[in-house]
Each structure stands twice: as C-alpha cells, then as structure tokens.
Amino acid sequence: MKTLALHNTRYVYLEKAFGEWLSTLGYSKMSAYNLPHYVREFLHFLEERKISDLTGLSSKYIREYYFYLTTRKNYRKEGALSSGYINGQFLALDKFFEFLYHKGMKNLPSLHLKRLQSENLKKEILTIDEIKELYKASEEQEYMTEKQEALNYQDKVLLSVYYACGLRRSEGIALCIEDINLDTRILHVKKGKGGKQRLIPFSPSVKECFTLWIYEYRMLIAKDKTESRLLLNRYGKPTTGELMNKRLASLITKTENPKLKEKHITLHGLRHSIATHLLAGGMDIQKVQKFLGHTSLDTTQIYTHLAEETESSM
C-alpha cells in the first residue's frame, strides 16, 4: 500500500533498490513502480512484528503473511481483498526474493505462494485440445459458393489473429494487410491500448494461414481492391467485433464437444487462453507481458494460477 510508512532504513533502501533493479532489467515503468509498493506492505507487516532483518526471516512469517492477505479487509470498499490484488502481492514477493538472492542474501525461506483462482476468468479459458477442435471445425465447414468458402476460411484467420497472436478485440478489427510482414513473420499492432505499438512474432502455420487468406480467399470477398482491413464482412467491408464474436460462437456450435459449448467464449477469451498456454509452456512472464501489450506486469500475473493448473493437467 502506497500510504504505509516504513521506519526501518534498511527496508526503505531495499524497496527503492528493488524498483531500480526492475527498471534495469527492462520492466515497464508501471511494474517498476507498483511491485515495490506491494513489497512495502510485506515489509511493514514485518516491522509490526519486530522483524528488522530479513536474514532472520522464517517460513512462519511467510505463512502468517499469506493468512493476513487472505483475511484482511479491503480498505477501499466492503469485503475482502480481490484475488487479483493478492496475486499481485505474491508476484511482487517472488520477484523481491529473486532480487534478494541476486544481492547475495542467503538462507531465505521458500515462498510456495499458491495463486488464488478467478472463477470468472477460468470460465473464459480454453484448453489446447479445445483450441485444436476450433481449428478443425473451421476447416470442415460446408459451403455452396466460393464466397462462402472464403468466409468460412476467415474463421481460421480469426483464430490466428485472436488466439495465435493474442490480439485484443479492437486490435484485430483495426488490423490491415500492410501490418503483416509474411517474410519476417511479424505482426505490427500500430495502435494498441493506450495508443501503444508492439511487434508480435507468429509461427509458420499462422504465416500459411495469412498467406492463403490475403492472396486467395480474401480476394473473393473484397469488392473494393483498395480496402486494406484484414478482416471483412460478407459485403467486403471492414467487419466489427460483434460480428466476429458471432462467427466464433457459431464455430463453437460446430464442434462435437459439449463442455466447450457450455463455455462463454469471446474473442477476448481466445486472448486469455493463449496467455495461459504460453505461461504453462514455460515462457517468462515478462515476455508474455510484452506479447499481450500489458502496461503492467500485475495484469499479466492474473493468468499464472491458471497456467499452473494447465501445466499440472498436462
């Protein structure tokens, strides 16, 4: 908490040095600002228990802090702390202990802080097998005309944009052909959230999908050859997020998986899914943060407990 005061000069120094260390490693300004504030609450907790030196820290205080976080009142509104806030605390402590080890501090207790679940988010996550089922369904749709065949193929492009590349709904809709470099396999998001740009690498299979769409199928739909938007409606005009969500919902109904059909999956659910799968596959959380275009690492860390569940079920 930003308003908590630390009286231990050693703790004050560690909090500041931690933020500088994060900045040196290339963490975003937001993360380098927020994570030390999370750690301040932990250090304040230790101060209140007369622990003035981290070298004397034991697992007992880690367990007590876990209980403190999961039971303390939310001072901003009624009820307990959100799982997102608590998970942010856990992430901050993980990084703080990594920093302490880097500084040469030994004999620190193990954290083993299990992330709390977010049930609402969990309902929006697809398994890797379910993603494969969606790709399969996109390839097996029936068609009567070449135009319908092209529109069906665009469903596969939808999956590549929103799952494989992890774009936000608005980013995918705004995507233009010139934003995709097939030679380098790099997708350029020119105006993401907050007006920020980012570059996203994509796989050879996604390259093949984009290539077929741009040079074959899309040409069967686009009436105006000067139209640059990647995703189009049946009239050859730029599509909308609402229409793409409907196409995704329709695609889900074409699968043979009853559990998948019960899930409420949107375009953003595909983005949630790739974030979870990347973390479960071992990608560093900071790289996932950059891939998704998150300003703060705190936002990315909400997927960590889902990734842990995914990894354990593999």
Residues 122-146 pLDDT 10s: 557 899 999 999 999 999 999 889 9
| Identified catalytic residue from 185, 190, 193, 207 | 193
209 lies in a domain?
A: yes
254 lies in a domain?
A: yes
Structural contact between residues 269 and 125, judged by C-beta atoms closer than 8 angstroms? yes
Q: Do 233 and 160 belong to one domain? A: yes
Structural contact between residues 302 and 310, judged by C-beta atoms closer than 8 angstroms? no
- Asked if 112 is an active-site residue, the reply is no
Rounded to the nearest integer, the mean pLDDT of the chain is 87
The better pLDDT of the pair 301, 179 is held by 179
213 lies in a domain?
A: yes
| Identified catalytic residue from 27, 65, 163, 303 | 303
Q: Do 197 and 298 belong to one domain? A: yes
Q: Do 154 and 242 belong to one domain? A: yes
| Identified catalytic residue from 247, 271, 272, 277 | 271
Q: Do 133 and 112 belong to one domain? A: no
* Structural domain ending residue among the three candidates 72, 89, 116: 116
Q: If 0-12 CB within 10 Å is exposed, 13-18 middle and 19+ buried, where does residue 278 land?
A: buried
φ/ψ (deg, to 5) at 276: -65, -40
* Structural domain ending residue among the three candidates 83, 116, 149: 116
Q: Do 186 and 150 belong to one domain? A: yes
| Identified catalytic residue from 168, 218, 272, 305 | 168
Q: Do 163 and 94 belong to one domain? A: no
Whole domain around residue 41: which residue ranges? 9-116
| Global confidence as pTM | 0.66
- Asked if 72 is an active-site residue, the reply is no
Residues 66-119 pLDDT 10s: 888 878 777 666 666 777 777 778 888 888 989 998 888 888 887 777 666 554
* Structural domain ending residue among the three candidates 55, 87, 116: 116
CATH assignment at residue 265: 1.10.443.10
Q: Do 142 and 248 belong to one domain? A: yes
- Asked if 303 is an active-site residue, the reply is yes
- Asked if 198 is an active-site residue, the reply is no
Q: Do 93 and 174 belong to one domain? A: no
- Asked if 44 is an active-site residue, the reply is no
Structural domains of the chain, count: 2
Using CA atoms, how far apart are residues 68 and 51, in angstroms rounded to an integer?
A: 16
C-alpha to C-alpha distances, 296 to 32, 33, 35, 282, nearest whole angstrom:
9, 9, 10, 20
Q: Give the confidence band of 1 by pLDDT, cuts at 50, 70, 90.
A: low
Q: Do 67 and 138 belong to one domain? A: no
CATH assignment at residue 38: 1.10.150
Residues 185-196 pLDDT 10s: 999 999 887 788
